[in-house]
Structure formats: C-alpha cells, structure tokens
A and B are shown apart, each in its own frame.
Chain A
Amino acid sequence: MTTQTAHADDHHHEAPKGLARWLFTTNHKEIGSLYLIFSLAMFLVGGAMAMIIRAELFSPGLQLVNPEFFNQMTTMHALVMIFGAVMPAFVGLANWMVPMMIGAPDMALPRMNNWSFWILPFAFLMLLSTLFMPSGAPASGWTLYPPLSLQGGNSFAFVIFAIHLMGISSIMGAINIIATILNMRAPGMTLLRMPLFVWTWLITAFLLIAVMPVLAGAVTMLLTDRFFDTSFFNAAGGGDPVMYQHIFWFFGHPEVYIMILPAFGIISEIIPTFSRKPLFGYTAMVYATASIAFLSFIVWAHHMFTVGMPLGASLFFMYATMIIAVPTGIKVFNWVSTMWRGSMTFETPMLFAIAFVILFTIGGLSGVMLAIVPADFQYHDTYFVVAHFHYVLVTGAVFAIMAAAYYWLPKWTGHMYDERLGKIHFWWSTISVNVLFFPQHYLGLAGMPRRIPDYAVQFAEFNMISSIGGFAFGLAQLLFVYIVIKCVRGGEKATAQVWEGARGLEWTVPSPAPLHTFDTPPLVDDSLEHKDRLPS
C-alpha cells in the first residue's frame, strides 16, 4: 500500500505493524475491512446456529438438541445475524465507500471510528459467552419479551450489556457517517449529486440515532425489572408487559429498514453500472427512501396485532403499513426501468442484484399479506412470518451485501475475483435459498408455529426439503469465503474503473485503492455526476 501525499497532519506514515496496526488504525479503509471481516465471521457463527436449527427440524421429534438449547439457538441466531452480520457489514461498506464516493480523505472522526469498531468484538464475546454460562444463553427470542425473558438466569445481564455495547457502537458509527456526509463532501458534490448508496446511508444513520437509544432504554428497563425490583413490565407491581412490545417495536420497525435501506443503495449503484444506463428516477429514489424512513416510525404495532387493540388502531397500523408498498414499489419499478433497454451484462454482482429485485419483492408482498389484520391473526408467529422476514433479510439484505462484495472487491484488493466461481456461488445460493425458505410459506399457512424444536408429522416433508435447502445454502457460503480469500491473494489485475459501465469518484482512484485517497479534494462537476452513467 502506498501513501499518496505527505502533508496531512493525521496520517501515521510510520504506522505500527502487525496486530497493533489493526488495533490502532484510524484509516477508514482499514476500519472498513475490519468491519467486513468481523461481519463475515459473525455470518458464519450465526449460520452455524441456523444449521443446528435446521438439523433439529429435519424430521419431527426431538433428535439432536434439547428444547432449551434449541430456543437459545433461535434467539442467538437472530441476535448474531442482525447485530453481528448484517449491520456491521453495512457499516463496513459505508466506511470503505462513503468517503471515496463523496471525495473525502477519511471519515470525519477517525479515532471514534476505531472505537466504534473495536467495541463490537467485545460485545459479541460477551453475548456468545452466555452460551457457556450455567443459566445459558437467552432463549426468549431476540425480541426479549417479558415476562418470559425475565425468567432466565443471571446471564441475562451479559446479554443486556452486550446489546448496550452494540447500540453505542452503532450510534457512534451513525454520527460519524452523518458528520462525514454533511461536512466533508468534495466541492461540487451537492446533496442531489451524491450516489444513492451515500443517500440511503445518510437516512439510515438518522434512523440509527433515533431508535438505538430507545432499544437501550427498553433493555435497561428489562435489566432493572430483573435485578433491581422495578416494575416497568411487571403486572404485579403495576407495570404492563404489553408496553415492552410497544417500546421494542418502536425501535424494531425502523431497525428492519436500517437493515434494508443501505441494500437499496447498493442495488441502485450496481444496476446502472451493468445496464450501462443512468439510474432511472434518481430524485424519486431519494424521496422514496426518505418516505420509507418516515413511515417506519408509525407502523410498529403491526408486529403485535394479536395483543388486541381497538378497531381504529388496527386500521391505522394496517393502512400505514400498506402505504409503505408505494415508495418501495417506486424503487422496484425504477430498478426495472433502469434495466429496460440497457446494454446489460450479467457479471456476479449484477446477478445478485437482479435476484435481489425479484426475491426481495416476494418478501415485500408476503409483508403486505401480513399487514392485513384478520389474516395476521392466522399468520402471526407461524413459519409464514419466518419465510417473510428471511426473504427480505437473506435474499434482500444479505444478497445485496454479497452483490456489494463482488462489485467492490476488485477496488479493495486490486484483483478480479474468479468470475466462474462467483457465478457458481450465485446459482448455488439462489436455488438453495429458495428451497430453504419457500416451503416455509406453506408450513406457516398450514399452521406450523415458529420457535419450536418439534412439530406435527404433517409438516415433515416440507421441513425436510427446507433443511436440505438450508444445508446447501450454508455450504455455498463456504465457497464465498474461498472466493474472497482467493481474490485477496491474487488474480487478474483490476483497472481503476473495473467495470465498463461504472461511474463515480470511487472508480477514479487506482485499484487497489491506496490507503489515502482524495487528500486533495477532487472537483466534482457534471462529467462525474453519478446520474450521467451513459454508455462509454
């Protein structure tokens, strides 16, 4: 790696080597890599837990694990995947790409950036250590609903503090990203010239700052209820357990958009590149993202229709939820319009992006089904819900992260990944993920409840199919790890532009991107404007 300039004050030219280099780094690219590596590791840990779940559900009856441990697996799988895999992956991508996309030399607060990352390994060490404690890991589901979540052992305190640390890390990361985007754009990089990935992250960061503290408050109330005799959620002391669900989902629903808006940004970068056309309806995409973010604050109760609420409230939350389909529809149609009559090629990032558009839409539509109050009473807490949120999170968020990894790996490493293996990984993942999750729709409609280790025999066939898909999907991700390692180690040299249709500042710097870029801010004018993705 080379340093381009010698005049900036903050750059350590005699950087420490070895482990210290990574512990003390304040460089946005190195921290971005740390986030991505951490996220990949957590993806494998959470994936291993999913394998245990699918192995137990392979056939009816109790085979491999006891029910208590099974419940710990479903809970920990969710916590690890949400807070350990998906969110850090997006933060890692933001660290790497946002400064390069807006022509900034680094993040606005490099030291805080280091801290945001290094909190995370300790948070997850604490969370995962509960698996080895006498009272075990949390087993009440990732939502930690009281009174059940308060009936576990003392390891619960470790879970709460781990969540606090994750929250602090996310909030610091979000503050850093907003400060970078608002204050460090290159001259000429107006807000409406920013790449859509930057826009979606700006909005996501605001969501994070608005709701992560609310989660911190909710789990703190759980902590004091459990250990300090308060009665926030304890009916015997005048509290109300349903109130927890309201506070939790006030955080929880924006949280699901935190996990999908950056994915929208990634897809909005990739599709124009491989369609060799400017993004269709750029401004509409920005406003659609903002509308989704706003709506996410007023729909929380659709997660809890079955607690019982007045007709007026049910109708409000049902209609508000359904309205989200409008801005989301705008996005899907704009992606399709971008591809329309484009000179499309189908490299691996584009394949993942197209699969995202199709499969995320399936997940979105089952979401509209779940929004219908009377139908929700039937679907609530069944495998239909499991199928729905895995379509939006696995074939949505995770596929977008995969697409982003393939898209930007050449820029990060300077090498092209193995395109043949990438395509195998794509088809293997896409087929197996549908074998894994599509049958779960039918299981849910037939009445199979979620979060149970055993089930009635009429669900046996579809569960077996789903498990086989699960094992295949899990195996495919080991291939992904191999492709990434192979690409880091070597391969065909990548050019600065990497992709023929790629436009934007990040493609003007050499591949691999040097440690310090844009120490002198570039001048951004219409020739670089991301909207101007004309065929070259």
Chain B
Amino acid sequence: MSNDAPQSTTRTVAKLALLAVGMFGFGYALVPLYDKFCEVTGLGGRTGDAVAEIVDAPDSDRTVQVHFDSNVNSALDWEFKPVEKFMDVQPGRMYETTYIAHNRTNQTIVAAAVPSVAPGQASLYFNKTECFCFEKQLLGPGESREMPVRFFVDDHLPGKIDLITLSYIIYKNEDETERVAAVGP
C-alpha cells in the first residue's frame, strides 16, 4: 500500500464519524420538526394560535356542529365532563361552553388538560381565545370547578366539514401535586 493510505483512511473515518454524530443530533431534531409539522398541518388535532378574526356578520346559512368530549387519565381520580354534549355554531361567531371538574380524593391535586380537535384538518380553523387548558388546574379535596372555554370556528372552514369534535384528556401533574403537598399552593 502506498503511504497516503492511512491519511485517506483518517479522512474517511473523520467524515463518517461526523455523519454518525450528526444523525444522532438529527434524531433529536426530529422532535421540534415533528411538533412544527403537526402545528402547520393540524395533524394530531393540535390547535394552533388563534389568527383568524371574528366577523360581525357571519354567514348565517351555515352551521357546524361542535361536539365536546372528555377523558380522564387513569392515574387521576377526578370527574371531568362537559356541561353540553354538543352545540350548533356559526363559523365566525364567538361561543362559550363549560367543563366541570371534581376532585374525588381527599388530597389537593394539580392537573392539566390537553386539547385535541378532530378531524385534524379542522384544527387549523378552530380557535380558543380562553381555555382552562392554558393553565394547570388545582383542586382541593372534594372541590369542584366550572371551567369555561371560549372559542370560535374560522369561517374559512372547508365546506365539507360539518362536524368538529373538541376533546380533552386531563392528566395529573405529579411534580406540581408533590410541590403543593409539600409547601402549599
């Protein structure tokens, strides 16, 4: 072998090692990329930031049915339900509905609700201006709370969509619950 072989080998190895390290980073970069992708496309039913405007004279011919759904994670002993099962809404007009949460335990618990909208395409047009899911909820032993959601459906909503489901899963926030138990709210 000629003398430059080891040198060229070193170069090849350096490039390949860099590629391996880069791909490790790429694995992590997939996390924000995935979030951004879901946000832009509405995949996974994530609701983006409210960007549309409320219109004064909505297209009154059109109504869309919005269904309200709730789920409680098995680690959380709460009751969590929408007051109304569904609502007929006009795109472009603001509405308000309420969910009720009740802490069935004799401890103070902090929980957080994660929203999701189905079908995914509709999530781009579903805007919440006020929601209990924006912050964590603290309920004392046996406490109940009515929690409002204010929302409107963008009137650019594609015509083929006539039913939207707004769903929440509420999870216990272990860290906050422990902190509150230790030092108080």
Given A182, A232, A236, which contacts B31 in the complex, CB threshold below 8 Å? Answer: A232
Using a CB-CB cutoff of 8 Å, which residues 3-25 of chain B contact chain A?
A: 5, 8-9, 12-13, 16-17, 19-25
Chain A contacts of B16 at CB under 8 A? 174-175, 178-179, 209
Query: What does the 1/0 interface line of B75-102 toward A look like (CB < 8 Å)?
Result: 0000000000000000000000000000
A171 to chain B, nearest CB (A): 5
Q: Is the CB of B8 within 8 A of A183?
A: yes
- Tell me if B43 counts as interface (CB < 8 A to partner A): yes
Using a CB-CB cutoff of 8 Å, which residues 140-172 of chain A contact chain B?
A: 171
Q: Is the CB of A217 within 8 A of B27?
A: yes
Given contacts A175-B20, A210-B19, A235-B169, are A250 and B30 in contact (CB under 8 A)? yes
Given contacts A178-B12, A236-B172, are A209 and B23 in contact (CB under 8 A)? yes
Beta-carbon nearest neighbor of B171 in chain A: A236
- Tell me if B26 counts as interface (CB < 8 A to partner A): yes
- Tell me if A303 counts as interface (CB < 8 A to partner B): no
- Tell me if A423 counts as interface (CB < 8 A to partner B): no
Q: Is the CB of B5 within 8 A of A229?
A: no
Chain B contacts of A189 at CB under 8 A? none
Chain A contacts of B157 at CB under 8 A? none
Chain A contacts of B5 at CB under 8 A? 183-184
Query: What does the 1/0 interface line of A114-129 toward B look like (CB < 8 Å)?
Result: 0000000000000000
Q: In the bound complex, how far is the Cα of B27 from the Cα of A213, in angstroms?
A: 7
Chain A contacts of B120 at CB under 8 A? 310
Using a CB-CB cutoff of 8 Å, which residues 316-360 of chain A contact chain B?
A: none
A113 to chain B, nearest CB (A): 12
* Majority SS at the chain A contact face: helix
- Tell me if A242 counts as interface (CB < 8 A to partner B): yes
Using a CB-CB cutoff of 8 Å, which residues 228-254 of chain A contact chain B?
A: 229, 232, 235-236, 238, 240, 242-243, 246-247, 250
Using a CB-CB cutoff of 8 Å, which residues 212-229 of chain A contact chain B?
A: 212-218, 221, 229
Beta-carbon nearest neighbor of B170 in chain A: A236
Q: Is the CB of B34 within 8 A of A214?
A: no
* Majority SS at the chain B contact face: helix
Chain B contacts of A521 at CB under 8 A? 1
Q: In the bound complex, how far is the Cα of B25 from the Cα of A215, in angstroms?
A: 11
Given contacts A105-B1, A183-B8, are A175 and B13 in contact (CB under 8 A)? yes
B30 to chain A, nearest CB (A): 5
Chain B contacts of A171 at CB under 8 A? 20
- Tell me if B44 counts as interface (CB < 8 A to partner A): yes
B110 to chain A, nearest CB (A): 11
| Number of A interface residues in the complex (CB < 8 A) | 36
Chain B contacts of A405 at CB under 8 A? none
Given B22, B34, B43, B73, which contacts A236 in the complex, CB threshold below 8 Å? Answer: B73
Beta-carbon nearest neighbor of B45 in chain A: A308
- Tell me if A109 counts as interface (CB < 8 A to partner B): yes
Q: Is the CB of B44 within 8 A of A240?
A: yes
Chain B contacts of A240 at CB under 8 A? 34, 38, 44
Q: In the bound complex, how far is the Cα of B35 from the Cα of A247, in angstroms?
A: 13
- Tell me if B175 counts as interface (CB < 8 A to partner A): yes
Given A178, A214, A242, A310, which contacts B26 in the complex, CB threshold below 8 Å? Answer: A214
- Tell me if B40 counts as interface (CB < 8 A to partner A): no
Given B1, B31, B34, B38, which contacts A184 in the complex, CB threshold below 8 Å? Answer: B1
- Tell me if A392 counts as interface (CB < 8 A to partner B): no
- Tell me if B114 counts as interface (CB < 8 A to partner A): yes
Given A179, A217, A229, which contacts B12 in the complex, CB threshold below 8 Å? Answer: A179
A476 to chain B, nearest CB (A): 39
Q: Is the CB of A213 within 8 A of B23?
A: yes
Chain A contacts of B34 at CB under 8 A? 240, 243, 246-247
A347 to chain B, nearest CB (A): 36
A90 to chain B, nearest CB (A): 18
Given contacts A108-B9, A182-B12, A236-B171, are A243 and B23 in contact (CB under 8 A)? no
- Tell me if A211 counts as interface (CB < 8 A to partner B): yes
Given A108, A178, A213, which contacts B21 in the complex, CB threshold below 8 Å? Answer: A213
- Tell me if B108 counts as interface (CB < 8 A to partner A): no
Given contacts A175-B17, A182-B12, A246-B30, are A229 and B175 in contact (CB under 8 A)? yes
B33 to chain A, nearest CB (A): 10
Chain A contacts of B175 at CB under 8 A? 229
Chain B contacts of A217 at CB under 8 A? 24-28, 30
Q: Which of B28, B120, B169 has the most CB of A within 10 A?
A: B28
Q: In the bound complex, how far is the Cα of B25 from the Cα of A218, in angstroms?
A: 11
- Tell me if A309 counts as interface (CB < 8 A to partner B): yes
Q: Is the CB of A236 within 8 A of B20?
A: no
- Tell me if B173 counts as interface (CB < 8 A to partner A): yes
- Tell me if B131 counts as interface (CB < 8 A to partner A): no
Using a CB-CB cutoff of 8 Å, which residues 471-527 of chain A contact chain B?
A: 521
Given contacts A184-B1, A229-B175, A236-B173, are A179 and B9 in contact (CB under 8 A)? yes
Q: In the bound complex, how far is the Cα of B35 from the Cα of A246, in angstroms?
A: 12
Using a CB-CB cutoff of 8 Å, which residues 158-179 of chain B contact chain A?
A: 169, 171-173, 175
B85 to chain A, nearest CB (A): 23
Given contacts A179-B13, A243-B31, are A236 and B23 in contact (CB under 8 A)? no
- Tell me if B112 counts as interface (CB < 8 A to partner A): yes
- Tell me if B129 counts as interface (CB < 8 A to partner A): no
B99 to chain A, nearest CB (A): 18
A224 to chain B, nearest CB (A): 11
A385 to chain B, nearest CB (A): 25
- Tell me if B63 counts as interface (CB < 8 A to partner A): no
Beta-carbon nearest neighbor of A309 in chain B: B43
Q: Is the CB of B24 within 8 A of A213?
A: yes
A112 to chain B, nearest CB (A): 9
Chain B contacts of A214 at CB under 8 A? 23-24, 26-27, 30
Between A and B, 25 residue pairs with Cβ closer than 8 Å are A108-B12, A108-B13, A175-B16, A175-B17, A175-B20, A179-B9, A179-B13, A183-B5, A183-B9, A209-B23, A210-B19, A213-B20, A213-B23, A214-B23, A216-B27, A221-B31, A229-B175, A235-B171, A236-B73, A236-B114, A236-B171, A236-B173, A240-B38, A246-B34, A310-B43
Q: Ordered nearest first, which 8 A-B pairs have the shortest CB separation?
A: A217-B27, A236-B171, A213-B24, A213-B23, A214-B27, A175-B16, A179-B12, A108-B9
A sample of 5 more A-B contacts (CB under 8 A), given A183-B5, A213-B23, is A108-B12, A217-B30, A218-B27, A221-B28, A250-B27
